Chain A
Amino acid sequence: MADMPTKPIDKLFKPVLIACGVLLLLDLVIDRHPKVPGEALPFFYAIIAMATFVGVIFACRWLHDVLQRPTDFYGADAVDAEEYPQDGLDRVDAAPASASRRQDS
């Protein structure tokens, strides 16, 4: 598989922006049958989605600072600090495996 660009998220920006624009236009012409107070506001779902998403991320920046501790906070042998046991893993690298398959063929 070809290498991805450094910031693949940039490639998504325009398509998502266009999709958002189309959905806002549809919001003006489609009846959403609101049942809850506030839901009848234009672009209700778009506004609440953005506000919530950004709000959660900013709240979590603060929570991140307040609640974070080193991984050995509960001791060096706590689950957060320990490595997963090697005998429960099968760490196989993809590149050598595909190379050996090519050699076999």
Chain B
Amino acid sequence: MSLFAPPAIYLVAALICCFLPRRGRAVLLLAVPVAGLVSIFSYAPGVHEVVQVLGFELSFVRMDGMARTFAVIFSIAAALAALYAFHVHDRLEQIGTLVYAGSAIGAVLAGDLITLFLWWEATALASVFLMWARRTTGAMATGMRYLIIQVLSGVLLLTGLLLHYYDTGSIAFDQLGVVSPGTAFIFVAFGIKCAFPLLHNWLADAYPAGTITGTVVLSIFTTKMAVYALARGYAGTEMLIWIGSVMALSATFLAVIQNDLRRTLSYSLIGQLGFMVVGVGIGSELALNGAMAHAFCSVLYQGLLFMCMGTVLYRTGTSKASELGGLARTMPITAACCLVGAASISAVPLFSGFVSKSLTLSAAAYDGHYFAWYALLIASIGVLCHTAIRIPYTVFFGEDSGKRPAEAPVHMRAAMIVTAALCVVIGVYPAPLYALLPFEVDYSSYTVAHLLTQLQMLAFAGLSYIWLMRRGLLTADKDVMFLDTDIVYRRWLPAALPAVSSSITAVWHAFQNLCLGALSFAYQRVEKVAAPGAILAQGWSVGTMMFVVIVVMAVLLFANLL
């Protein structure tokens, strides 16, 4: 791998970061994504660099349309996150951020499964420091759970890679499909990082446990890297349409009930991933373009929303809905940026979500996947419930919490404003985004019919919210937490462990007693026949012994003939 390859730039910078003073590190974190972006555009489209290692052809840089789309948005988001975190002086977090971003970019540029595995594991190891940098007991424990699940994904990927290599003799990372045990293992490995239903709980558990700036970084890379991997290896796999639909729907309900708004955003992120997974599952050029465009826009608006909630947490010490309200009085810029993020995620015309979400929905309609179309439509309305209307209203415009925090620091404001501006620019003028996508786009979001239908959904969802609120039918936010499937390994398994352990011990003791009883019985029998005067203790003649041996040999010979 060349020192000028994008991931290498990040790794070298991480090394340099070990020796730089605080301000130098902050500047380096800002400069590296810019250098990475220059490096990405210095590669001609279609470049595929191959290196021979131990007889394997490893490809650290494969710069085609799909890889470039993700590498570009990862670089832009890394730069914005670095600007947002300009005040951070935690060396551990900064190095973790650089290695994490570099590894994620390395993964999307990987042309073979071995290289992908190396970067896959590196993202897991680096990203956990964004939680551990919080340095609390809770964050340490959450980080450990996160790490175990992420490493498990890597182990499954390695198992799948070995089985796939044994089957085909190939390590190429191209279309795989779920066609063998090896590719099935790889599919599940990708599914864990993509937060498939029932494999999703690590995300909602871990992201709210990150540092204020760390959560912004976490929201960018891992899941989108998994979407890329699915698009590369499993495009057109029909199972993904169902999985994505369930993701989009289930996340809606779990997001609405949360009190911690960073956790609401985490579930909201899973819902957005559902759109991308459906797009990958449909697998047509329009659908894949939709998945890519949605990933691109989602990194921006989801990052923006995490930034806004991070800023609120930074200034007030809480991101719980039950403790917030009326902050627009003193944080108008953060409130405005949050509104832009909300408008983008809910696909308001002239905002980024409007030009990306419709690609996937149209692809589902054109290809006859009506269940997925309805699921995504309902999820789009659900987004208004949990994120687009609820978060800005609750935090910035709703019932006054009495808190009067100052506006965000200058660098945080700058990061939020630039991200918000990108959301608007993409929404108003999507041509550059469409030009970046892997397939040619022959699609226009701005039709009269699309504008009308989208505005109708927004207006009637808004009317429903107002009606429900005036009637007092909305559930009041309380300082509680909500169960998810992580209860299985956080409560049920630890609670069941003593019972399981004592059951195993009891079975073992019973088995031991059984064996001892059998031995004792056999000993008594032997003692009986070998006692003085018993049959075995009598003197037998040589002739008798020879007769017995001949009979035994005759039986064996006869058995052998059979």
The residues of A with any CB-CB pair to B shorter than 8 Å are 1, 3-4, 6, 8-10, 12-13, 16-17, 19-20, 23-24, 26-27, 30-33, 35-37, 43, 45-46, 48-50, 52-54, 56-61, 63-64, 67-71, 73-74, 77-86, 88-95, 97
Q: Is the CB of A79 within 8 A of B138?
A: yes
Kindly list chain A residues whose C-beta atoms are within 8 Å of the C-beta of B330: 1, 94-95
Please determine whether A71 and B480 come into contact, CB atoms closer than 8 angstroms.
yes
Contact partner of A68 (CB less than 8 A), chosen from B326, B456, B469, B482, is B482
Interface residues of B (CB under 8 A from A): 87, 134-139, 141-142, 208-209, 211-212, 252-254, 256-257, 260, 313-318, 326, 328-332, 362, 365-366, 370, 373-374, 377-378, 381-382, 384-385, 393, 397-400, 404-407, 409, 448-449, 452-453, 455-466, 468-470, 473-475, 478-484, 490-491
Partner of A1, one of B329, B382, B465: B329
How many Cβ-Cβ contacts under 8 Å join chain A to chain B?
Answer: 213
Q: A74 contacts B462, CB within 8 Å?
A: no
Contacting pair A79 B208 (CB below 8 A):
yes
Could you tell me the distance between the alpha carbons of A53 and B377 in the complex, rounded to whole angstroms? 12
Offer 15 A-B interface pairs, CB within 8 angstroms, sorted by A: A6-B399, A8-B398, A13-B470, A23-B452, A36-B370, A49-B458, A56-B252, A59-B253, A67-B482, A71-B479, A79-B139, A82-B137, A84-B313, A92-B405, A94-B404
Q: A60-B253, A79-B139 are in contact. Are A31 and B449 (CB under 8 A)?
A: yes
Give the residue of A6, A49, A54, A67 whose beta carbon is less than 8 angstroms from that of B483: A67
Minimum Cβ distance to chain B for residue A75 (Å): 8
> CA–CA, A49 to B462, complex, Å?
9
Cβ contacts under 8 Å, B400 to chain A? 4
Q: Could you tell me the distance between the alpha carbons of A4 and B448 in the complex, rounded to whole angstroms?
A: 36
In the complex the two chains form, is B464's CB within 8 Å of A80's CB? no
Cα-based distance from A61 to B209 in the complex (angstroms):
26
B253 touching A63, Cβ below 8 Å: yes
Partner of B256, one of A43, A56, A80: A56
Task: Give the residue of B209, B385, B393, B491 whose beta carbon is less than 8 angstroms from that of A53.
Answer: B385
Q: Is the CB of B136 within 8 A of A82?
A: yes
Alpha-carbon distance A60/B253, docked complex (angstroms): 6
Complex partner residue of B406 from A1, A13, A56, A97, CB under 8 angstroms: A97
Residues in B with CB closer than 8 Å to A74 are 481, 490-491
**Nearest CB of A to B86, in Å:** 13
A45 to B384, CA, bound (A): 14
Inter-chain contact B466/A16, CB cutoff 8 Å? yes
Known: A57-B473, A79-B139. A48 touches B377 (CB 8 A): yes
Contact indicator A1/B332 (Cβ below 8 Å) = yes
- The answer to whether A69 touches B481, judged by C-beta atoms less than 8 angstroms apart, is yes
Asked if A77 and B313 make an inter-chain contact with CB atoms under 8 angstroms apart, the answer reads no
Residue A52 contacts which of B378, B407, B459, B483 (CB distance < 8 angstroms)?
A: B378
A34 to B401, CA, bound (A): 45
Q: Shortest beta-carbon distance, B209 to chain A, in Å? A: 4
Identity of the chain A residue whose Cβ is nearest the Cβ of B389 in the assembled complex = A53
A4 B326 Cβ-Cβ under 8 A: yes
The smallest C-beta distance from A16 to any residue of chain B, in angstroms, reads 5
Contact status B463-A77, CB under 8 Å: no
A57 to nearest B CB, angstroms?
6
The CA of A83 and the CA of B461, in the complex, are separated in Å by 35
Chain B residue contacts of A59, Cβ below 8 A: 253
- Residues in A whose Cβ lies below 8 Å from that of B313: 84, 89
Could you tell me if B138 and A50 are in contact, using CB atoms closer than 8 angstroms?
Answer: no
- Partner pick for B466 among A12, A26, A60, CB 8 A cutoff: A12
In the assembled complex, the CB of A8 is this many whole angstroms from the nearest CB of chain B, namely 6
What is the bound-complex CA distance between A11 and B87, given in angstroms? Answer: 39
Chain B residues, CB < 8 A from A83: 317
The reply to whether A50 and B407 form a contact with Cβ atoms under 8 Å apart is no
Contact B470 A57 (CB under 8 A): no
Contact B481 A71 (CB under 8 A): yes
CB of B338 to closest CB in A, whole Å: 16
Residue of B nearest to A29 (CB): B452
Contacts of B384 in A (CB 8 A): 53
Q: Which of B331, B377, B470 contacts A10 (CB 8 A)?
A: B470
- A90/B315 in contact, CB under 8 A: yes
Q: Bound complex: CA of A27 vs CA of B81, how far in Å?
A: 42
> In the complex, what residues of A have CB within 8 A of residue B385's CB?
53, 56-57, 60
Do residues B257 and A50 form an inter-chain contact, with CB atoms below 8 A?
no
- Whole-angstrom distance between the Cβ of B474 and the nearest chain A Cβ: 7
Contacts of A60 in B (CB 8 A): 253, 256-257, 385, 475
* Cα separation A82 to B452 with both chains bound (whole Å): 46
Query: Is the Cβ of B475 less than 8 Å from the Cβ of A61?
Result: yes
Distance in angstroms from B458 CB to nearest chain A CB is 8
Given A9-B393, A37-B370, A82-B138, A19 and B481 contact (CB-CB distance below 8 Å): no
Closest-CB distance, B253 to chain A (whole angstroms) = 6
Neighbouring B residues of A84 by C-beta, 8 Å: 134, 212, 313, 317-318
Contact (A45, B457) CB under 8 Å given A35-B366, A91-B315, A92-B405: yes
